[in-house]
Amino acid sequence: MRLALILGLGGVLLAQAGLAEELPGDPEAGRKKAGQCRTCHGLNGFAQIPIAPHIGGENPLYIVHQLTAFRDGTREHEMMSVVAKALDDQSIADLAAWFSSQSVTATLPAGATEDMAPEACVGCHGADGIALIEDAPNLAGENVVYIETQLKAFRTGKRVNDTMTGIAAELSDADMNAAADWYAAIKLDIPPVK
């Protein structure tokens, strides 16, 4: 069990420039704006529906990149493309600050050890599904179908990422099943928001 506490103090350590990621995000302002997210993602970022990922405790930069991509049309989803179109850079920074300020705990299931984690994934997403680099999402507790859908989207080119496009191209369906099974079985906890 490992406790990952990621502080959402806005964009530091930025490699690539983008408007929203240069803006400091305000978690409290983000909380107010998160009303439009909570039906699917939960106010604390713990997903309420299977097609939505958990985003509480995510790295702020990852959230900024994804929301910006949905807004710009470089990533598409029939719901997120609608929502993101209405977000300005400050709102994106605030939402990223709010969700990333949630503390998350990932717990491996009984009998599992970190060396059983899928090799191709652990370098960035961690054995317990808590990301080790800034621009990767946490995978702990995401459901099997969500993870497989994303992997297949990278393989077919529907979703594009410098790292994931190459990795997914090498994965068979069985590899994807196994990776999804591993991360889906990890228990993710995010304390409720008061």
Q: Across the strands, what pairs with 187?
A: 107
Which residue lies nearer to another protein by CB, 22 or 74? Answer: 74
What's the closest the beta carbon of residue 77 comes to another protein, in angstroms?
7
> How far apart, in whole angstroms, are the C-alpha atoms of residue 152 and residue 191?
31
Q: Is 108 exposed, middle or buried (0-12, 13-18, 19+ CB in 10 A)?
A: buried
What's the closest the beta carbon of residue 10 comes to another protein, in angstroms?
25
Q: Residue 155 is which amino acid? A: R
Which residue lies nearer to another protein by CB, 29 or 40? Answer: 40
What's the closest the beta carbon of residue 43 comes to another protein, in angstroms?
9
**Which two three-digit tokens encode residue 48?**
């309420």
Which residue lies nearer to another protein by CB, 17 or 110? Answer: 110
DSSP 187: E
CA gyration radius for the chain? 16
**Interface with another protein by CB under 8 A: which residues?**
35-36, 38-40, 48-51, 77-79, 81-83, 85, 109-112, 116-120, 143-146, 148-149, 152, 156, 172-175, 177-179, 181-182, 184-185
